[in-house]
Amino acid sequence: MKKQRRIQIILIITLSLSGFSSQLSAQAPAPVGPVPSERQVEWYHREIMAFFHFGMNTFCDMVNEGDGRAGTYLFNPTALDCNQWMKVLKSGGIPCGIIVAKHADGFCNWPSDYSDYSVKNSPWKNGKGDVVREYLDACKAAGIKAGIYVGPHDRHERLSPLYNTKDYSIHYASQLSELMRNYGTVWETWWDGAGADELTTPLYTRWADTVRTLQPKCVIFGTKNSYRFADCRWVGNESGFSGDPCWSTIDSLSIKEESDHITELNQGQVNGNAYIPAEVDVSIRPSWFYHKEEDGHTKTVKELWDIYCNSVGRNSVLLLNLAPDRRGLIPSDDSTNVAGLHSMITNSFKSNFAKGAKITALHTRGRNYNPSNLVDGNENTYFATKDKFKSDTITFKLDSRKVFDCLMLQEVIQLGHRTTGWSVDYSNNGKTWTPISEASNKQSIGYKWIVRFAPISASYVRLRITDGKACIALHSFGIYKQAKL
């Protein structure tokens, strides 16, 4: 009896202890460093957005930065149809698009109460038209998230001898309110830094207040003096590529002279104190606005695929500019290539050859965090290590020999940038390993990281997380064969 009792007690103690420890290990890892807001998490999931540069410049020969003097009589699209724009987005799998309501020349695509330099003084629809209204209505009907660009810099206003920044601050706030109040939900607004150097933080403070009050879901693209309010940053070029690494974090206050910080904008900073990820703006044509001379110079599907892999595939969001022509329609080459990019993406990532693999890791956190979560296609389940392990080796014994030329990783961004070093190797016997050089000594992961390389034939793949700020939290790993271009 005595012995039995002792065994019983030991059993109870062991069970409760193991219960306790498995409870501990079942806890989610704590976030590390700056983490994204809900707005930023939603923004990352858009992956690709469209930009629509359309306005007075469309009607001026080879002008992209009008001086604000072009006559309003010039603006006269012959067949504007924002529903056609939506079809292009749908065929491109693009969930969100930002329309230029007012570019630096100051011409307003909507009948602003605060300016005469607008559609209301143009021949289009006898001055009764409103491009912004048509655009937002089309977005709503198509289920596309609408964004509005209102250039902070306004050359037309500046022509006035009475111009001063104090009055302009009020003028801009009034126009911003019109757009944020009267057109429905606005998912992003864009504070272009081009020409906006004289605009100071106090001005942006007031404008940010307007945006935050009227449109709480609206992401602010900020530059220069507006970084303090920014949900996302400029990537430092207009060519379509993020840095390698590319951190979502950056020391926002260190950005003073933009030209001195192009590398930081492009790569972010691993220990940056603010979470301001990169948005990659690039045009599908050489210019931002449509010019007939550039017909035939639309970026090819191959060029767009490179851009996608070097932006979305580098922890950034792609903002791809489309330029409606003088009819007010997206030219057909451009819409064809947008759809071509979409097929390239879906076909390349449709089968993950790591699915069905036998997956092992050394420091799994507990049964809710198994490495099998990496291939289940569900971003709500993830692989994590125990708190004290910032590195691990995850081995995939594939269900058969596979040929692949691309890999993709995704971190749990809500928990902050964790991994800071990783490499991938392959093997055909599970004993001798060959590094994939393009995927060796990598640093950032974040929302999504894609690496491409020459085709490899292998039956084992191994992901080595070599360094981190805290224990690992990864939700996806995949190997793929790129579709044919």
Alpha carbons within 13 A on the beta-carbon side of 90: 12
Smallest distance from the beta carbon of 237 to ligand IPT, in angstroms? 8
E strand or H helix that includes residue 96? strand 96-102
Residues 6+ apart with CB under 8 A from 267: 242, 243, 244, 245, 246, 247
Residues 315 and 448: their CA atoms lie apart, in Å, by 5
- Least separation, in Å, of the C-beta of 185 and ligand IPT? 24
Q: What are phi and psi of 170, to 5 degrees?
A: -70, -45
Which amino acid belongs to residue 475?
A: H
DSSP H helical ranges for 200-331: 201-214, 262-267, 301-311
Q: At its nearest, how many Å lie between ligand IPT and the CB of residue 328?
A: 24
Residue 238 touching ligand IPT (CB under 6 A): yes
Residue 280, strand partner residues: 318
Do 437 and 451 meet the contact criterion of CB atoms below 8 Å apart?
no
Q: Could you say which of 135, 234, 404, 449 contacts ligand IPT (CB under 6 A)?
A: 234
CA distance 420 to 210: 37
Residue nearer to ligand IPT on the CB measure, 23 or 239: 239
Is position 223 an interface residue for ligand IPT (rule: CB under 6 A)?
Answer: yes
Q: Which is nearer to ligand IPT, 97 or 416 (CB)?
A: 97
Task: Give the CA distances from residue 217 to residues 42, 45, 186, in Å, rounded to whole numbers and listed in that order.
Answer: 9, 14, 7
What the block records as the tokens of 356 is: 């069905």
Q: Which is nearer to ligand IPT, 278 or 413 (CB)?
A: 278
Nearer to ligand IPT, 288 or 353 (CB): 288
Residue 224 interacting with ligand IPT (CB under 6 A): yes
Question: Least distance from C-beta 262 to ligand IPT, angstroms?
Answer: 10
Instruction: Fill in the per-residue mask, 265 to 304: x = in contact with ligand IPT (CB under 6 A), - = not in contact.
Output: ----------------x-----------------------
- Give Dmax (Cα) for the chain: 103
262, with CB counted inside 10 A (0-12, 13-18, 19+), is: middle
Q: Does 193 bind ligand IPT (CB under 6 A)?
A: yes
For the bound state, the minimum distance from the C-beta of residue 413 to ligand IPT, rounded and expressed in Å, comes to 24
CA angle (105, 107, 111) in 5-degree steps: 160
Size of the site for ligand IPT (CB under 6 A): 9
Stretch that binds ligand IPT, among 45-53, 172-180, 189-197, 334-342 (CB under 6 A): 189-197
The residue whose Cβ lies closest to ligand IPT is: 193
- Minimum CB distance to ligand IPT smaller for 120 or for 155: 155
| Residue among 145 and 233 whose Cβ is closer to ligand IPT | 233
- Least Cα distance to 452 among 432, 419, 421, 478 occurs for 478
Residue number, 320 or 409, with CB nearest to ligand IPT: 320
Using rule CB under 6 A, residue 316 touches ligand IPT:
no
Beta bridge mates, 477: 409
Nearer to ligand IPT, 130 or 192 (CB): 192
Smallest separation, CB 258 to ligand IPT (Å): 5
Assess 311 for contact with ligand IPT (CB under 6 A).
Answer: no
Q: Which is nearer to ligand IPT, 320 or 375 (CB)?
A: 320
Check binding of 231 to ligand IPT (CB under 6 A): no
Tell me: does residue 402 bind ligand IPT (CB under 6 A): no
3-state secondary structure of 134: helix
From 55-63, 127-135, 191-199, 445-453, give the range in contact with ligand IPT by CB under 6 A: 191-199
Helix, strand, or coil (residue 365)? coil
Question: Is 318 or 354 the residue whose CB approaches ligand IPT more closely?
Answer: 318
First vs last C-alpha separation in the chain:
77
Instruction: Say if residues 150 and 179 touch (Cβ distance below 8 Å).
Output: yes
What is the enclosing helix (H) or strand (E) of 321?
A: strand 317-322
By beta-carbon proximity to ligand IPT, the closer residue of 209 and 238 is 238
- Interface residue with ligand IPT among 32, 194, 214, 339 (CB under 6 A) is 194
* Residue among 88, 379, 305, 317 at smallest CA distance from 188: 317
Give the x-and-dash track for 326-355 against ligand IPT (CB under 6 A): ------------------------------
Q: Which sign does the torsion angle of CA 351, 379, 313, 86 carry? A: positive
Q: Are strands 145-150 and 96-102 parallel, antiparallel or unpaired?
A: parallel
- DSSP symbol at 3: H
Site for ligand IPT, residues 26 to 55, rule: CB under 6 A: none
Nearest approach in angstroms of CB 304 to ligand IPT is 18
Q: By CB under 6 A, is residue 192 in contact with ligand IPT?
A: yes
Nearer to ligand IPT, 195 or 366 (CB): 195
Which residue in the set 258, 295, 306, 376 belongs to the binding site for ligand IPT (CB under 6 A)?
A: 258
Q: How far is CA 175 from CA 120, 129, 136, 426, 433, in A?
A: 15, 17, 16, 57, 61
Interface with ligand IPT by CB under 6 A: which residues?
192-194, 223-224, 234, 238, 258, 281
